[in-house]
Structure 1
């Protein structure tokens, strides 16, 4: 409805004409409609002059805030910050009183709405009134005990960040911290979860001194929380929390206060907790330095790299570059690479599959030389695995590696081994050769495909196994899109025509499919 302002209501001086229908929509039962109406009202409030705000918008706000139905009162909560900064002092006092009444409303849904908007209203109110009027509201909301609904207290945690950002350090300690300490120990896990989720924002808002005295112990408590959701939320914040610590206490805090908690989380019974930790734990290496990383963190990385859950392993592998920068590739290879190789050769094919999927990421972090020395042969071995899903994944892995390291690398390292597979006695391996040529042709381009790959495919057109021959037809159809047209006509088309007369029905079918393209 805000779009109607420029051309349909005669300009900003008539914008108040839009208020009645929006007021009606802000009272309906459907939450989505109310929220959209409030969104439009907030936008339209900016188009009002200060005089029109007091003449038209504030009366609307009063009617909503005093409405009989809770729906209108919840909508009112979102409009205070939009109107407060540009009205006169007496009206501001009236708005603060109205907001206080909503914070003390008998209906939990209204208090929840007020709690959710308290933070943004705090940014609009003058500091003196923030301390005298809004902080008591915040304290009451954070201690809300009515029914079993904890959503009022939960939303008060968000307001805590906004209020702490505005107040001076002494006021934060006196007015905010008692409530924040209570929220961190709240009987509801959802409130504790919110504290954990907002922890780095709270850390930035309260400053280094309060962080040292209050937040470090609170963070330890959250990392040891009895609820897995809380531990996971806190674990996600470990890296950023440590980075934001005062440099003078950074290392000692991690080693003495947080590392014991981290060691417990590495073997936590919940996979989401372990996954959250694995996504950030590598980031501690640059903070702790080489010696501490080798002595204290590497054993934890090894444990997580062998975790039963693939996501935990992925999160460790995807952040290896952080550790590589600190301890160097040699130390990394001696410590972690054996564990990666062990997983790559695991008897469970799903474990092998997981490592294959991480290999391009790992290759990019380790570099081409190290990869060729330590992992290249492993990638080629997967191509002849007895499980089809592994061979298929290994084929796609080759494509990603070529895209990462380039066509020149492929010619020297990969293509000779793929071509050799075309002469393998096992027809499944010969078929894998064709699958590899399909993907390599897309990555290596026309010149390499015509010179090295096409002759191999053509030589397999007379294979004794029908499955191989019809895959030759499918491969020719694929690589014809890469090859020059004259090559297609001179070399590809005659082979397809020959396959079209094959004794096997499937070979003839796929050859006819290819003939329509070539």
Structure 2
């Protein structure tokens, strides 16, 4: 098919124009997706002189079409003649980077970053860096009267940093980032604080330490004592990561005092965020230098009135135990772990049980036999039946980690004795426990000790006890049923 004047060479552009003017969005989308084929048919010169100007002038379509166009143009370097002419792709991508829809802008920026690597240093300076004046717009947005605009700049700062490159970052973005960290609105400071680690990581390696120590650290020190809990919490979630960037000496001299201050902060979330990221500083200076300040913070969090705070610190206990070592743990933290087992909130007791299992996996069965198991088994005589049931839950979790010998000699007798408990809930949990620990026990213990107790419970006056005992005896998921 030829164009209107009979010239076949005009066909691809003519067809593209018709299709992009069609009311059918899917047709327009399909046309955009075959742009590379059209560009190949046109050749590099006509692609530069006809196709790209046409596309630049027609960026007013549906978001779905514009998104496809932004993605296509990121792969157009060779279709316009290679790196020497790649700057021809900047005008349409620049227009796409300013449309209202976020996903289109993000894709345009991604394509711009992609083709920026194809530019020569001279072309970067001449064509890419002036990109119709990105930096003036960015500077204006970072100082906009609306805090929501400044918030968005702070929230997207890492992406902006990667897009503009190291030189512009050093000259323009560092001052802008400082201002955002000092912003009068807490929401803006909070968004900027969350980006501190990522911003510092992406600084040019040859000047990274100097920039951080000269320009960023002073802002960080101010944020440690910020009036907003949200700002302090945001900072606490990332500040430990600076230690791996700045190294041991700077961490000890400059960051350690900040960590210690945050461990004493009145806000539980701040202390919790510091504790949850201890592995970062442990890699650089070891955790011992923090241990004396850690303990009061951990104890306060462990006893916090909000059960979700208590739950969070329990979840980090295995990490802390591994970093602090068994001696410190036994001396300072063991009592806490046992206290959680009798917390009035079930979720805390459940998490504490899981915590014990992880600690045994970390410190070993011998440690468990000497330190944990006696205390757990002692709860079997507690007047509160909920605490007696916690003993069974702990045995369920610990049996595999402790192994056959400890389970058979120390745990099993306690479980069997609890089969006579006056509370039915305890008795049917005995049946469930015997089924749970069955795989750990040897056949002799199953036949001579477990079997008689399960048979007795299977005739219990309580229907639930009877049911779970019978399930333990004949349940297909039970390891003990075929031995009984």
TM-score range, shorter chain: 0.7 to 0.9
**What is the aligned partner in structure 1 of residue 114 from structure 2?**
162
Query: 1:154–1:191: 8 Å Cα contact kept in structure 2?
Result: no
| Distance of 1:418 and 1:324 partners within structure 2 | 31
Match for 1:95 among 51, 54, 61?
Answer: 51
Quick one: which of 191, 198, 202 aligns to 2:159? 198
Match of 1:473 in 2: 431
- Selected match of 1:400 from 340, 358, 376: 358
Change (3 A) 1:160 1:181: farther
Query: Out of 167, 181, 186, which is 2:135 matched to?
Result: 181
In the other structure, the counterpart of 1:12 is none
State whether structure 2 residue 418 is matched by structure 1 residue 418: no
Q: CA contact under 8 A between 1:123 and 1:162: conserved in structure 2?
A: no
In structure 2, C-alpha distance between the alignment counterparts of 1:387 and 1:150, rounded to whole Å: 44
Change over 3 Å in CA distance of 1:323–1:361 after alignment to 2? same
Output the CA distance in 1 between the equivalents of 2:137 and 2:181: 15
Aligned equivalents of 1:227, 1:83: Cα separation in 2 = 50
1:119 equivalenced with 2:119 (yes/no):
no
The aligned residue for residue 478 of structure 2 is: none
Q: Which moved more, 1:168-177 or 1:379-388?
A: 168-177
- CA distance 1:81–1:88, shift in 2 (3 Å): closer
Matches within 5 A, 1:307-456: 308=267, 315-456=273-414
Deviations 1:125-181 (CA, angstroms, capped at 9, x unpaired): 3334333x333344445556xxx7677656543344234323234443443334331
Verify: 1:463 aligned to 2:421, yes or no.
yes
Instruction: For structure 2, list consecutive stretches of 5 or more residues without a partner in the other structure.
Output: 1-8, 476-480
Contact 2:303/2:310 (8 A) holds in 1? yes
Q: 1:160 to 1:90 in 2, by over 3 A?
A: closer
Alpha-carbon distance between aligned partners in 1 of 2:363 and 2:315, rounded to the nearest angstrom? 17
Q: Which runs of 5+ in 1 are unaligned?
A: 1-53
The CA deviation string for residues 292-331 of structure 1, in whole angstroms up to 9 with x for no partner, is 4345434544565557575x65543332122123333321
1:69 CA drift (Å): 4.8
TM-score w.r.t. the length of structure 1 is 0.74
**Change in 2 beyond 3 A, CA 1:229/1:136:** farther
Q: Note closer, same or farther for the CA distance 1:90–1:506 as it changes in structure 2 (3 Å cut).
A: closer
| 3-state DSSP of counterpart to 1:481 | helix
CA contact (8 A) 1:157 1:194 kept: no
Separation of aligned partners in 1, 2:261 and 2:241: 17
Note the alpha carbon deviations across 1:96-123, whole angstroms, 9 max, x for none: 33333334x4777755654454434357
TM-score, structure 2 as length reference: 0.78
Counterparts in 2 of 1:210 and 1:82: CA distance versus 1, 3 Å: farther
SS at match of 1:166: coil
Alignment of 1:25-44 (within 5 A): none
* Kept after mapping to 2: 8 A contact 1:442/1:482: yes
The residue aligned with 1:136 is 91
Match of 1:255 in 2: 213
Deviates more, 1:79-88 or 1:156-165: 79-88
The equivalent of 1:41 in structure 2 is none
Asked whether the 8 Å contact 2:315–2:351 carries over to 1, the reply is: yes
Is the CA contact 1:154–1:190 (under 8 Å) kept in the aligned structure 2?
no
* 1:78-109, Cα deviation, whole Å (9 max, x unpaired): 44356646863344334333333334x47777
Tell me the distance in 2 between the aligned counterparts of 1:227 and 1:57.
Answer: 53
d(CA) in 2 for partners of 1:167 and 1:97? 20
Secondary structure of the 1:461 match is helix
Please list, as runs of the form range in 1=range in 2, the aligned pairs for 1:189-228 lying within 5 A after superposition: 192=153, 195-202=156-163, 206-207=165-166, 209-223=167-181
Matches of residues 236-247 of structure 1 in structure 2 within 5 Å? 236-247=194-205
Cα RMSD, aligned residues only: 3.8
Q: How far does residue 394 in structure 1 lie from its aligned partner after superposition?
A: 0.9
SS in 1 for 2:411: helix
Q: Is the 8 A contact 2:190 2:235 kept in 1?
A: yes
The structure-2 alpha-carbon separation of the partners of 1:139 and 1:264, relative to structure 1 and needing over 3 Å to count, comes to farther
- Structure-2 change in CA distance of 1:76 and 1:195 (3 Å): farther
1:343 deviation in Å?
A: 0.9
Q: What's the offset of the Cα at 1:446?
A: 2.9
Answer yes or no: is the 8 Å Cα contact 1:183–1:192 preserved in 2. Answer: no
1:468-488 Cα offsets, whole Å, 9 max, x none, are 333322222221233233321
Mapped to 1, the partners of 2:136 and 2:436 lie a distance apart of 65
Is the CA contact (8 Å cut-off) linking 1:382 and 1:390 kept in structure 2?
Answer: yes
Count residues in correspondence: 455
